[in-house]
Amino acid sequence: MSKKFIQFVDGPNLNMLGEREPEIYGSMTLDEVHKTVKDYIAQNYKEIDVNFFQSNSEGDIVDCIQKSKNTASGLIINGGGFSHTSVAILDALLTIEIPKIEIHLSNLFRREDFRHHSYISKGVHGVICGFGPNSYVLAVEGMVKLI
């Protein structure tokens, strides 16, 4: 069995996890969240490999999504604040024909009204939100079923 590859894309301010609003996002850093995912995959899915990308720049995120078309079996994205504003990221997601899942640490529907709408949701197969760092692990479970 050949290895499957999952690309994670983390958007703006996720590099500040652990410091930024821990009452909303928790106390784990992004590196700790990524380590949790790597450990989970290593224990449960030997045939899966993973890569993590984080940027505060919309254009860099679009570039990463476009490159994933040729390198990844599936893509999991936490668009952060760009989820609510970026048609460019939506368009990039719509151009790649691999399974895609949107994730968020917090429950968007328990937050400010402007966070209740995500542009990028239209470009993915499913959305997981509100489970803190476990949103990432739950997304892996969902992605394994899609790839």
For residues 140-146, average pLDDT:
98
DSSP one-letter string for the chain? -PPEEEEEEE-TTGGGTTTS-HHHH-S--HHHHHHHHHHHHHHH-TTEEEEEEE-S-HHHHHHHHHHHHHH-SEEEEE-GGGGGT-HHHHHHHHH--S-EEEEESS-GGGS-GGGG--GGGGGSSEEEESSTTHHHHHHHHHHHHH-
What predicted TM-score, i.e. pTM, was given to this entire model?
A: 0.93
User: Tokens standing for 17?
Assistant: 């996890």
Task: Please say if the pLDDT value at position 23 is more than 90.
Answer: no
- Average pLDDT score over the chain: 93
For residue 108, the model assigns a pLDDT of 76
Superfamily of domain 4-146: Dehydroquinase, class II (3.40.50.9100)
Give dist(CA 145, CA 3) in Å, integer: 14
Residues 71-102: tens digit of each pLDDT? 999 999 999 999 999 999 999 999 999 999 99
Catalytic residue of the set 25, 34, 119, 136: 25
Rounded Cα distance between 89 and 10, Å, is 12
- Options 34, 104, 119, 136, the catalytic residue: 104
Known catalytic residue at 34: no
Give the rounded percent of residues in the chain with a pLDDT score beyond 90. Answer: 81
> Can you tell me the distance from the alpha carbon of 78 to that of 138, in angstroms, rounded to the nearest whole number?
13
117 catalytic? Reply is no
Q: pLDDT class for 43, splitting at 50, 70, 90? A: very high
The HSE-up count of residue 116 (CA atoms within 13 Å, CB side) is 6
101-113 pLDDT tens trace = 999 998 776 666 7
- pLDDT above 80 for 24: no
Instruction: Choose among 102, 77, 62: nearest CA to 9.
Output: 77
Q: What is the pLDDT of residue 25?
A: 67
CA distance 45 to 33: 17
